[in-house]
Amino acid sequence: MADFQLDQLKESAPVKLERNGKTVCVVRVKDEVFAIDDTCSHSDASLCEGEVTDFKIECWLHGAEFDLRTGQALTLPANIALQTYQVDIQENSVTVEI
C-alpha cells in the first residue's frame, strides 16, 4: 500500500512518516520525492519543521542544511550525513522504503 498520493504532497512542504521505529521526513520537489531521517544530525530537532529550497532542507534550530538527495550535511553546525531512503513512485502512488 502506498504511503502517499503524489498529488496530495505539496511541493517543498515536508511531511513526517513514522515506521519501523524510524521517523523520516518526506519532501516533494517538483515530480520527485525524497525521504531523509527526520532528526538533525547536530542535535534533536525535526527537519520536517525546516524550510526547503531546491534540493536542500534547512534545520530550523541552528540553520544546518542537508541535501535531500544524498543526506549530506552541506553547512555547519551539522557535519554528519543523514540516512536517505529510496522512494518509489508508480503513477500517483508514493512508497518510501524504510
Chain contacts with ligand FES (rule: CB under 6 A): 40, 42-43, 45, 59, 61-62, 64, 77-78
Residues 6+ apart with CB under 8 A from 3: 17, 26, 94, 95, 96
Q: How far is CA 64 from CA 43, 48, 83, 94, in A?
A: 10, 13, 15, 27
Which residue number, 36 or 64, has a Cβ lying nearer to ligand FES?
64
Rounded to the nearest whole angstrom, what is the least distance from the CB of residue 64 to ligand FES in the complex?
4
Which residue number, 75 or 95, has a Cβ lying nearer to ligand FES?
75
Helix (H, G, I), strand (E, B) or coil at 49: helix
Which residue number, 43 or 83, has a Cβ lying nearer to ligand FES?
43
